[in-house]
Amino acid sequence: MKLISSLLLLICLFSYQAIAQFTVVSPDNKVEAKVNIGETISYSVLFNGKTVLIDSPIGFTFKNSPPLGDDMKLVESIYSEINETWKPILKRETEVLNHCNQLQLQIAEIRFPNRKINLTFRAYNDGIAFRTEFLGIQKAHQFTIVNEKTSFYFPDDLTCWAANHKGYGSHQENEYFEHKLSELEMEWVIGLPMTVKVDDECYVAITEADLTNFAGMYLKPAVGKNKIGVKTQLAPLPGEKEDGDKVILELPHKTPWRVVMIGETPGRLVESEIISNLNEPCAIKDPSWIKPGISAWDHWWSGRVKMDTKTIKEYIDLASEMGWPYQLIDWQWYGQYNLPDADITRVTDSVDMPEVLEYAKKKNVRCWLWLYWADVDRSDFEKACALYEKWGIAGVKIDFMARDDQKMVNWYHKIAKIAAQHHLMVDFHGAYKPTGFQRTYPNLMTQEGVLGNEYNKWSMRVTPEHCVTLPFTRMLAGPMDFTPGGFINRNGETFANELPSNVMGTRCFQLAQFVIYDSPFQVACDHPVNYRGQPGIEFLKKVKTVWDDTKVLNGQIGQFITMARRSADDWFIGSMTNSYARDLEISLDFLEPGKYKMVSFADAPDSGIDATKLVKSEIIVKKGDKIKIKMAPGGGFAAYLECIK
């Protein structure tokens, strides 16, 4: 970090006491955060000179101790710059720029001068972030946080997209519905991210990063004098009520980053790397064993659970045919789960695991294993991981945690670290949203915390509107295990909850999800019979799960999105629309000079009637060409562009 100055801006106002005001501005001078230290701690945010967040408090309430955040005085202020690049393992681009200006304020209470905090603000071109570090050397003494008073107040009653998770014991599988801020209800438990439209040239999303040894953050409606917004609500510890204990800490201790992502368009939010930048660098010395890719997935999705050697081999055959590196062996491979005597090292009688693994090896496929989290918790997980490593298992999918209190957050981190020691990748299903820990432990490939394709099996909730809202809401937090790829495609009036399971929208709508939805471990949901010989299957043999470049070409929340992703010299395009037919025109100005063979998969003229129909085309294109995309209701478009040497 480069030291810029000690005190850049200090304005003293005399009321109850002097108020010190500080400003930190992004490298491009578009994002500005103002911090006030006085009777209270508060902040505000501007973007391109327009107010995004108005005076909003920061503070904490402790058990058996006075609140922290009132009657404060400045001890020291330090400005610095962070300007570095780093190479991600689970990449959406080859190299990430981490460039921001940072303000660190050391603050003490007037009444209790030994109670000090470091309040750090960072201003990036794509948002602001701040965190609190509780200072001290009394490591033997524990403090308990019962409330965080941080709020986010907006200048008007704006439109937002918010998910009500209804409680803190949640899989976070809900829709992000459109509301006015004034329509949010106090009993809601609003999940992150929450996206807000400030105006036509400013969109923001509130979330958190580097959630470590702390409680997960939610939001509640907040109304102040001439202002409206949301306030922080932390997940309570197990057995505690909403107003009970949240975090037990020893000094020193840091909170997660509170993040306000900012962009001129919704697409700029999708492209942002601010969450990753706010996490620690990769802690795995040699991560070369971490291999992203697509996985076949057994009968849980497209039929009733049938756990036997023959069935698993059918999916291994599919993965091999498709060139996918993985097969996910789902629940019941070790018998009935979530029982006191469930043993995650013992294989059920109907599965010959040595035969399965030898067969997979011959087919150049590696297997993942599903685990129920409580069975993992009761077991010697390190011993189990050592066994899985001996078997040649690639990774584990751990399910049904449905919590993000401090104890569960620490459990996630412990499990990811143990798995990494045994060269195992991890998929947290039944999980909370990501906060960027994938940068530090990239063996954590993906997390669920999303209302995904499996809900088509029993609900009408996975609508095209939901699917084109996710990139601008849940996906802003990080990878999501949506399980795309349903090939029994139905339009709204023909969709039904039945077996084999079908999905809303066209075939091209499902193909596009493999480009648009982030997940380095992408699980294709359908049965081998529903894939073989089907139109569009070629695209699933070509598409990747990590990328060298990512661009959002257009999009509006809940309406449509088009993205382009580069892998080496080739490009992939995905576009989706909601329940309305849509015509779009995009420019290929993102291409490098030269010629490309574009193989596209577009909705057919009758895809509105038969959603499985598509039209495959091949043309030669070059940089700057324009292509037209015509999508049916609930439709999509997918293409791969191969560079012609």
**Tens of pLDDT, residues 182-211:** 999 999 999 999 999 999 999 999 999 999
Give the residue-averaged pLDDT of 331-354.
97
- Choosing from 175, 399, 405, 427, the catalytic residue is 399
Give the helix/strand (H/E) hosting 274: helix 274-277
CA dihedral (193, 198, 200, 204) positive or negative: negative
φ, ψ dihedrals at 443, nearest 5°: -70, -15
pLDDT at 10 (0 to 100): 27
Write the DSSP symbol of residue 280: P
- Measured at the CA of 600, the angle between CA 597 and CA 606, to 5 degrees, comes to 155
Q: How many CB atoms lie within 10 A of CB 33?
A: 25
Q: How many CB atoms lie within 10 A of CB 596?
A: 23
Q: Is 603 assigned a catalytic role?
A: no
pLDDT at 191 (0 to 100): 98
Q: Give the rounded distance of the alpha carbon of 383 from its chain centre.
A: 30
CA contacts within 13 A on the Cβ side of 335: 12
What are the residues whose beta carbons fall under 8 Å from the beta carbon of 143, sequence distance 6 or more? 62, 63, 65, 134, 248, 249, 250, 251
Q: What is the DSSP string of 194-221?
A: EEEEEETTEEEEEEEE---SSPPEEEEE
- Give start and end residues of each alpha helix (H) in 486-550: 507-516, 528-531, 537-542
Full domain range(s) for residue 592: 459-519+542-645
Q: Tell me, what amino acid is at 57?
A: P
- 581 within domain boundaries: yes
- 529 within domain boundaries: no
% residues pLDDT > 70 (the chain): 96
Q: Is 399 assigned a catalytic role?
A: yes
User: Does residue 220 surpass a pLDDT of 90?
Assistant: yes
Taking only the tens place, the pLDDT of each residue in 289-328 is 999 999 999 877 777 778 999 999 999 999 999 999 999 9
- 440 within domain boundaries: no
Q: How many CB atoms lie within 10 A of CB 224?
A: 14
Q: What is the DSSP string of 394-455?
A: -EEEEE-----SHHHHHHHHHHHHHHHHTT-EEEE-S-PPP-SHHHHSTTEEEE--S--GGG
Burial string for 297-318 (b: 16+ CB within 10 Å, else e) reads bbbbbbeeeebeeebbbbbbbb
Biggest alpha carbon–alpha carbon distance for the chain:
79
Q: Which of 277, 298, 330 is the last residue of a domain?
A: 277
φ, ψ dihedrals at 307, nearest 5°: -100, 95
Taking only the tens place, the pLDDT of each residue in 516-540 is 999 999 999 999 999 999 999 999 9
User: Does residue 3 surpass a pLDDT of 70?
Assistant: no
Taking only the tens place, the pLDDT of each residue in 617-635 is 999 999 999 999 999 999 9
**Which has the closest alpha carbon to 476: 579, 400, 552?**
552
Burial string for 472-490 (b: 16+ CB within 10 Å, else e) reads bbbbbbbbbbbbbbbbbbb
pLDDT at 140 (0 to 100): 67
**Which has the closest alpha carbon to 278: 419, 133, 104, 82?**
82
> CA-CA distance, 489 to 141, in Å (whole number)?
59
Q: State the CATH number of the domain containing residue 573.
A: 3.20.20.70
- 415 within domain boundaries: no
Please state the domain count of the chain. 2
Q: Which of 261, 277, 293 is the last residue of a domain?
A: 277
Do residues 181 and 103 make contact, with C-beta atoms less than 8 angstroms apart?
A: no
The rounded mean pLDDT for the chain is: 94
Taking only the tens place, the pLDDT of each residue in 360-399 is 999 999 999 999 999 999 999 999 999 999 999 999 999 9
pLDDT at 6 (0 to 100): 31
**Which has the closest alpha carbon to 268: 551, 516, 520, 470?**
551
Q: Which residues sit opposite 260 in a β-bridge?
A: 128, 206
- 315 within domain boundaries: no
- Choosing from 148, 173, 317, 454, the catalytic residue is 454
Give the residue-averaged pLDDT of 549-557.
98
> CA-CA distance, 7 to 3, in Å (whole number)?
11
> CA-CA distance, 643 to 595, in Å (whole number)?
6
User: Does residue 435 surpass a pLDDT of 70?
Assistant: yes
- 588 within domain boundaries: yes
Q: Give the rounded distance of the alpha carbon of 559 from its chain centre.
A: 20
Q: What are the Cα distances from residue 455, in Å, to 296, 462, 463?
A: 18, 7, 10
Burial string for 516-541 (b: 16+ CB within 10 Å, else e) reads bbbbbbbbbbbbbebbeebbbbebbe
- 386 within domain boundaries: no
Residue 240: exposure state from Cβ atoms within 10 A (0-12, 13-18, ≥19): middle
pLDDT confidence bin for 15, thresholds 50/70/90: very low
Q: State the CATH number of the domain containing residue 195.
A: 2.70.98.10
Q: What are the Cα distances from residue 1, in Å, to 82, 99, 273, 493, 512?
A: 5, 11, 19, 58, 41
Write the DSSP symbol of residue 318: H
Give the residue-averaged pLDDT of 175-180.
98
What torsion, rounded to 10 degrees, do the Cα atoms 410, 407, 255, 207 define? 90
User: Does residue 114 surpass a pLDDT of 80?
Assistant: no
**Which has the closest alpha carbon to 196: 46, 100, 53?**
53
Q: What is the DSSP string of 585-606?
A: EEE-TTSPSSEEEEEEEEE-TT
Q: Which residues sit opposite 106 in a β-bridge?
A: 76, 118
Write the DSSP symbol of residue 504: E
User: Does residue 12 surpass a pLDDT of 60?
Assistant: no
> CA-CA distance, 488 to 59, in Å (whole number)?
51
Taking only the tens place, the pLDDT of each residue in 474-507 is 999 999 999 999 999 999 889 999 888 999 999 9
User: Does residue 354 surpass a pLDDT of 90?
Assistant: yes
% residues pLDDT > 90 (the chain): 89
pLDDT at 138 (0 to 100): 62
What are the residues whose beta carbons fall under 8 Å from the beta carbon of 492, sequence distance 6 or more? 504, 579, 633, 634
Q: Tell me which residue has tokens 């905090």.
A: 117
- 247 within domain boundaries: yes
Describe the strand order of the beta sheet including 217-224 as a list of residue ranges. Answer: 20-25, 31-37, 41-47, 50-58, 151-154, 227-234, 217-224
> CA-CA distance, 419 to 444, in Å (whole number)?
9
> CA-CA distance, 242 to 403, in Å (whole number)?
14
pLDDT confidence bin for 137, thresholds 50/70/90: low
Do residues 121 and 258 make contact, with C-beta atoms less than 8 angstroms apart?
A: no
Q: Which of 246, 277, 308 is the last residue of a domain?
A: 277
What torsion, rounded to 10 degrees, do the Cα atoms 383, 387, 388, 389 define? 100
> CA-CA distance, 189 to 252, in Å (whole number)?
29
> CA-CA distance, 254 to 256, in Å (whole number)?
7
Q: Which two tokens stand for residue 358?
A: 């030898």
> CA-CA distance, 422 to 401, in Å (whole number)?
22
pLDDT at 67 (0 to 100): 75
> CA-CA distance, 480 to 485, in Å (whole number)?
14
**Per 3-state DSSP, what percentage of the chain is helix, strand, and coil (rounded to 5)?**
20, 40, 45
